[in-house]
Amino acid sequence: MIQTATPKKVLIVDDDETIGDLIRLVLSEEAMYDTYLATNPYQALELASTHTFDLFILDYRLTYFDGFTLYDRLHTIDRYRDVPAIMISSSIRQQEKALKKRNLIGIGKPFDMDMLLNTVHNVIDNQVVQSRR
């Protein structure tokens, strides 16, 4: 019997539900990731308390507080200290210092869905390789 790996879980946080749904659909249909969508940071924190995620995709401009603040809050939770994140933003060039400080990957909006998918694959694959060391 062939044993299949458990799908990686990805939390997508974007207050634009249309964009979030599109990302969720592409990652779950084309890449077979187990995806969850939160449309505000409080939903994201609630989901993070009841699930275990392998990757975060965070919009920079969110309702209540920005994506960096959410990233920082998520990384105060022990099981998420080493979980990578991808930040998406229309103003990504202005966020370079904050991205470097947190070792985040930034993708500008509008973005090419294939580029996002490749970036997600690379981040997840790199995480698997590092966990095998």
Q: Each residue of 37-76: pLDDT tens digit?
A: 999 999 999 999 999 999 999 999 999 999 999 999 999 9
Paired sense of beta strands 55-59 and 105-108, if any: unpaired
Nearest alpha-carbon partner for 95 in 62, 67, 116, 114: 67
Using one digit for the tens of pLDDT, what is the confidence trace for 74-122?
Answer: 999 999 999 999 999 988 888 889 999 998 999 988 899 999 999 999 9
Whether the predicted pLDDT of 1 surpasses 60: no
Provide the number of structural domains found in the chain: 1
Q: Is residue 3 part of a domain?
A: no
Range of the domain at 97: 9-132
Q: Residue 102 falls within a domain, yes or no?
A: yes
**Residue 23 in domain:** yes
CATH number, residue 63 = 3.40.50.2300
Report residue 18 as tokens: 């249309």
DSSP 78: G
